[in-house]
Amino acid sequence: MTVTATLFRFEDSYAREVPGLSVPWAAASVPAPELLVLNEELAAELGVDPAELREPPGVALLVGQVPAGVTTVAQAYAGHQFGFYAPRLGDGRALLLGEVIDTQGRRHDLHLKGSGRTPFSRGADGKAAVGPMLREYLIGEAMQGLGIPTTRALAVVATGERVLRERAQPGAVLTRVAASHLRVGTFQYAAASGDRDLLRALADYAIARHYPEAAGAPNRYLDLFRRVAEAQASLVARWMLVGFVHGVMNTDNTTISGETIDYGPCAFMDAFDPATVFSSIDEGGRYAYGHQPRILQWNLARLAEALLPLFDDNSEAAVEATTEVLDGFTDAYARHWAEGMAAKLGLAAPDRDLAEDLLKLLRSQQLDFTRFFRALSAGTARTLFTEPEPFDAWAVRRQVLLPADRATVAAAMDRVNPVYIPRNHRVEEALAAATDGELGPFRRLVDVVSRPFEERPGLADYAGPAPAGCAPYVTYCGT
C-alpha cells in the first residue's frame, strides 16, 4: 500500500509482507520540536524539498507526527549482545515511519530513534539525548564521505524536554535512512518463533529487496546467505582500512544489506593498535579493532543457524553448505583487505607480507594510522618515526613494487587515504557545544569529514590526533 503524506509517499511492504515481525505503534508527543540539523543533500535524494522539511509540518513529521492513513511500526528482532542471546529486543525507542522510493528508484526505510516507549522498551524511557543523536548524524556522514556503506541521518530534532541519563540532557529524535532495517537479529527472531513460513517469508522479502539475483539460484536461501556474507566481508574490510571501531557488533547491529548501522560507542583509531577499544562497556575487548573480522564471521554463523531449516531438509548437507560459506568469508575478507591495502600503499597488486610488516612497524612506534598514509603519498612518512631505520628498510621493499609514474601513484593514494576523519577529541568538543546550544562547531566538523580526501586550507587542526597527554578516549552507548 502507498500512502501519500504531505512530503513523502510512504509504502509499507515490510509490515504487509512479513506480518508478525512488527507492531503498529505511535510516537510519543513532543512538547517543543526544533529542527537542529537537516541533511539537505539526502532530502533531495529522497525527492523532498528541504525547505518544506523546515516548515512546522515537516518538523512534526520528523518526530513521528504522521498524517492520517500512515501507520508507524516498531520492528521485532532478537540478538546476541556481547555473545549472550536475548530472544526479544526490537525497536525499544524507535519506529519505522515507512518506506520511501528515492529519485533513483531505490527503496529506503525512514526510521526514528528516540521517539518514545514501544512494546519492546523493556522498562526504558524510549527517549534519546541530543549528543548521541548528533553523533550518529556525524559519523554516518563521515562514513558516506569515505565511501563506506552506511545508514545516514536525515535530521535531528530537539524535543524541548530533558532526558535523564548520567545527568539530565536535552532530548532529541533522529530520522535515519537505511536500505532496510533487516538484521541478523531479525532472522534470529523469526527462526526462534518456530514458524517456518514466517522465516521463509522474511528470507523471500530480503531476497526481493536486497539480492534479487538470488531468486534464480538453485538454492535461493543459501545464495542469500552467501551474498550477505560477501557484503559483510567487504564492509568490515573497509572499516579496517580506515581504522574504524564499531564498538557494539551485536547481531542486532549487523545488517542484511551490508550497511553500517548504529553509531553508539564507535570511534576512529588514532595510534595503530589492534587491541584498540573505546566502549566503556566492552571490558573484555570483544569488539576491539583487530577482532572485528572474526566477530563478523561469528555473527554470520548465527545468521546461518537461523536460516538452516531453509537450506536443505538434510541437516548434514545444510551444515556442510553453511561451513563452506563461512570459510569463504575468511577468504573474501582477506581479498578485500589486501586489495584495499594495496591501494593505500600505491601498489599495483597486493603484497600481504609488505602490508603486515608495515602494521607491525606502526604498532611498535605508535604511529597515527590516518596520518601515516597521507605522509606516505607526500614522501614525508619517515619524519613520523622516532626510529626511522626499520621504516627505511621497509620503504626499500615497497619502492621496487611501485609503478614508474610516481605522481600518478601519489594522486591515486590520496583518493583512498583520508586527510580528515572524525577525530575523537573534535567529536566530543562539537557534541558538548551542541548540547549547550551552540551548533557551529558541529556543522563545521560535519563539513570537514564529509569531504575527507580533499586537503583544504585552514583545516590543519582537524587532521591530527588529540594533543599528547590527553586521557584515553572512552565512548558510551548512548544511541
Distance separating alpha carbons of residues 185 and 85, to the nearest angstrom = 10
Q: DSSP labels for 28-43? A: PP-SS-EEEEE-HHHH
Question: How far apart are the two ends of the chain, measured CA to CA in Å?
Answer: 31
Distance separating alpha carbons of residues 285 and 349, to the nearest angstrom = 33
Strand stretches in 197-269, DSSP E: 244-245, 267-268
252 is catalytic: yes
Residues linked to residue 34 through DSSP beta bridges, in sequence order:
158
What residues contact 455, with CB distance under 8 A and at least 6 apart?
A: 414, 419, 463
Q: Does residue 153 contact residue 176 with C-beta atoms inside 8 Å?
A: yes
Active-site option among 91, 252, 282, 368:
252
Burial of 437 (0-12, 13-18, 19+ CB in 10 A): exposed
Distance separating alpha carbons of residues 240 and 292, to the nearest angstrom = 8
Grid coordinates given for 256? 542484511
Q: Which amino acid is at 291?
A: H
Annotate 315-333 with b (16+ C-beta within 10 A) or e (fewer): eeebeebbeebbeebeebb
Distance separating alpha carbons of residues 250 and 82, to the nearest angstrom = 6
What residues contact 67, with CB distance under 8 A and at least 6 apart?
A: 3, 5, 6
With H, G, I as helix, E, B as strand and everything else as coil, classify residue 17: helix
- Residues marked active site are found at 252
